């Protein structure tokens, strides 16, 4: 288990980056889509 501290701006950037990464995958990468969505769900909403 790892913990990192992010500023509000860093958290906003991480959300944007993960959503952009998610948009790059199609239906053939269902396992990647599930993993990225699970990671996004763990993050607090950006401020």
Phi-psi domain of 20 (left: phi exceeds 0; alpha: psi -120 through 50; beta: other): alpha
Spell out the domain ranges in the chain: 8-42
- For residue range 12-47, list pLDDT tens digits in order: 999 999 999 988 877 678 888 899 999 999 999 987
Dist CA 12 CA 30 (whole Å) = 25
CB-based contacts of 12, cutoff 8 Å, min separation 6:
46, 47
Res 7: pLDDT: 95
Res 46: pLDDT: 84
């Amino acid at each position: 288990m790892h913990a990192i501290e992010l500023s509000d701006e860093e958290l906003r950037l991480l959300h944007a980056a993960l959503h952009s990464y998610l948009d790059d995958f199609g239906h053939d990468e269902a396992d990647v889509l599930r993993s990225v969505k699970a990671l996004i769900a763990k993050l607090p909403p950006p401020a």
